[in-house]
A and B are shown apart, each in its own frame.
Chain A
Amino acid sequence: MAEKKKAPATAKKKNQTLEIIKRLARNKVAMAAGIVFVLLFVMAIFAPLLEPYDYTLMNGKLAFAKPSLEHPFGCDRLGRDLMSRIIRGSRFSLGMGLLGVLCSLAAASVLGSVAGFFGQVADNIVMRLLDVIQAIPGILLTMTISTVLGRGFFNTVLALSIGGIPGNTRMLRAMILAIRNSEYVEAASSINCSKARIIAKHILPNAFAPVLVGAAMGIGGTIGQASMLSFVGLGIQPPDPEWGALISDGRNYIATYPHLIVFPGLMIGIVSLCACLLADGLRDATDPKLKK
C-alpha cells in the first residue's frame, strides 16, 4: 500500500525535474556555460592526469618563458609550467568555491529556518545578530575571520562560508516566509497536513530551486573572494597554485611578464561567468511564471 502511494509521487517529481532540464536545454547559452562549468570541475578532479608537466617541477632555463607550443601558458619565475599549475590550482579554487558555498548554505538554512519558523523572538535574535555582522562590509568580514583562523585550505573555506552566512540567511528567511504564507501551504494545512509533512513535501521542494540558483551564483563570487584573500596575503599562499596565489606570485613581474597574471585571472573570470550564466538559466528554467 505504502509503495503504491509512493510510486505516482516520484513519477510526478521526475517529470518536473525532467521538465526543468528540458527548459534549461532550450537555453543554449546556459547549456554551454553549464557544460564548461562541469568540464572545469572534471578538470579539477582529474588534475594529476591532465597536467602536461609536474606542477612543482622547476627548470631554471625556462624561468619567465613566454607562452609557446610546449608551454601554452608559459612558465613562472621558477620555470614551472603555468598551465600545469593552473590545472592543479583548480582543485584549490573550485574546491574552495564549492565547499564554501555548500557550508555557508547549510549553516544559513538552519539559521534561516529558525528565524522563519520559530516565531518573533527567535526571528528577532537572529536578525539583530545579522544586523551586527552585516555592519562589517563583506570582504572586510571575510578578511577579519580569515586573519583569526589563519591560512590554509580548510580555514579559508570556513572564513568564506562564515562570510557568506548573513546574506544567505536573509535570502532563505525571506523565501521561507514567502512560501509559508503562500496559498498552497494554507491549503495543505487546511486539509490537516502535519507540520513535518508540510515542510518536507511542500516547502522544501519549492525552496530548492531558488537555493540552487543562489548556490550557482555564489560559487563564482566565492572563488573571486578566495583569490582576493590570497592576494592580500591570507587564504592560500604560494607555492600552492591557487589562482589568486598565482596572481599575487606574479604581480611584481606584471610590467615584463604579464602572462603570469593574465591566465589565472582569465580562469577566475571564466568560472564566474559560467556560474553566473548557469544561475540565470536555472532561474528562468525553474520559474513557473515563464512556462510556455
Chain B
Amino acid sequence: MWRYVLKRLGMMVFVVLGVAILVFSLMYFVPGDPAMLILGSGADPADVARLRAQMGIDKPYLVQLGTFLNNLLHLDFGVSYQYNTPVIESVKERLPRTLFLSVMVIIFQTLIGIPLGITAAVNAGKWQDTFCVIVSMIGLAIPGFWLSLMSIKVFSVNLGWFPSFGIDSWKSYVLPIVTMAIGGLSMNTRQTRAAMLEVIRADYVTTAKAKGVSAHDVIYKHALPNALIPVITMIGGSFGGALGGAIIAESVFVMPGLGLYLTNAINALDYAVVRSVVVILAVWFSMIMLVTDLVYAFVDPRIKAQYTGK
C-alpha cells in the first residue's frame, strides 16, 4: 500500500511542476506589455524600460521561468500591480473563504444528490424515479450563475431573507452554496442512480435475493457499498466543478474570495495574480484528487490487492 501512496505523491510533484510551467508559459505569451499597462500607453519609453527591468520581464523566457518556479518554492507569488500588495497576503486572507465555499458546495450536493440517486434507482420506473430524473436533467441544464442571479431577485430583493452580497453572516453563504450546488447535485443524482442500477442487476445481488435476504438488506448491505465505490471518485472529481462554481459565485455575490480576486485580475490584466491563483487552485485540486485516489484504493479491494499482492 505504501508503494502506491509514494507513487501517487511522486506523480503529484510532477503534475504540480507541470501546471506551474504550463500556466507561466501561457501567461508569458499573452500579447501586451505589463509595464506599458501599468504606466499607461503615453508613458516615457525610458520609464517603461526601467519598470520592465525592475519587474524582471526583460530577461529571456527560461530565466524568467526559473525565477518564477524558484519564487513559487519560497511561496513568493509576486506583487499585484493593481493593489500594489504582495499576492501571498491576499491569498492567505482569501483562500480559506473560497475553500470553505467549495467544500460546503460539495457537502451539500453529496448529502442531497446521493440519497436522491439511490431513491431513484431503488424505485426504478416509479414516480420517484421519474421525478429525480426530470429534476436532475433540469438542474444540469440551468446555468449556475443565472440561478444565483435569480435567487438574488427572489430571496434577497423580493423576500429579503438573505443578503445579496458580502460575507457578513452565515446567511450570506446560503444562496451561493445552494445555487452553485444544483448542477453538481444533479450530476451526483444521475451518476449514483446509474451506478446503483448497474449493481442491482449484478449476479451477486440476484444470488442474495435468491437466498432469501430481505429486500432492505439486499439494497443497503449488498448493493450500496459496491455502488458507492465509483461515487467516491465522483465526489473528489466534483471538487473541480465546485471550485469553478465558487469562483463564479464570488463574482455574482461580490464575496471577497480568491475567485473574485481572480476575475478582477483577469479584467485588469494583472498577470502575477492570475497565474498565482491558477497555480494555487490547481495545487489544491491535485491534493484533493490525491486524497480521493487514496481513499478509493483503501475501499476498493481490487486496487489494494494489486499492490499488497506483489
Contact = CB atoms under 8 A, between A and B. Distances in A.
Interface of A: 128-129, 131-133, 135-140, 143-145, 147-148, 150, 220, 224, 227-228, 231-234, 247, 251, 254-255, 258, 261-262, 265, 268-270, 272-273, 276-277
A254 B148 CA distance: 11
Contact of A136 (B30, B138, B152, B285): B285
Given A232-B251, A273-B137, A138 B30 contact: no
B240 A138 contact: yes
B22 to A, nearest CB: 6
B150 A148 contact: no
A276 B241 contact: no
B16 interface: yes
A231 B248 contact: yes
B57 interface: no
Nearest to B251: A232
A268 B266 contact: no
Contacts of A234: 266
A232 B143 contact: no
Contact of B143 (A138, A147, A228): A228
Contacts of B252: 251
Interface stretch (B63-71, B76-84, B274-282, B296-304): B274-282
13 contacts: A131-B11, A131-B15, A138-B241, A144-B278, A145-B26, A224-B143, A228-B248, A231-B248, A251-B252, A254-B149, A254-B157, A262-B150, A269-B141
B243 A140 contact: yes
A126 B153 CA distance: 46
A63 B124 CA distance: 51
B202 to A, nearest CB: 15
B267 interface: yes
Counting from the closest, the 5 A-B pairs by CB-CB distance are A132-B18, A137-B240, A139-B244, A265-B146, A272-B141
B29 interface: yes
Contacts of B18: 128-129, 131-132, 135
Given A140-B278, A254-B149, A132 B22 contact: yes
B80 to A, nearest CB: 15
A261 B150 CA distance: 8
Given A147-B274, A269-B141, A251 B149 contact: yes
A247 B152 CA distance: 14
B231 interface: no
A273 B16 CA distance: 36
Contacts of B266: 143, 147, 232-234
A258 B286 CA distance: 39
Contacts of B281: 136-137, 140
B278 A268 contact: no
A140 B248 CA distance: 10
A217 to B, nearest CB: 10
B243 A137 contact: yes
A247 to B, nearest CB: 6
B157 A255 contact: yes
B263 A233 contact: yes
A268 B143 contact: yes
B140 A137 contact: no
B19 A139 contact: no
A129 B289 CA distance: 16
B142 interface: yes
A182 to B, nearest CB: 20
A137 B30 contact: no
B49 to A, nearest CB: 24
A275 to B, nearest CB: 8
B23 A269 contact: no
Given A140-B278, A232-B266, A269-B141, A247 B149 contact: yes
Contacts of B108: none
B31 interface: yes
Contacts of B27: 148
Contacts of B26: 144-145, 148
A167 to B, nearest CB: 11
Interface hub of A137, A138, A220, A227 (most chain B Cβ within 10 A): A137
Nearest to B274: A147
A228 B240 CA distance: 16
B100 interface: no
Contact of B244 (A131, A138, A247, A268): A138
B249 to A, nearest CB: 11
Contacts of A145: 26
A132 B12 CA distance: 9
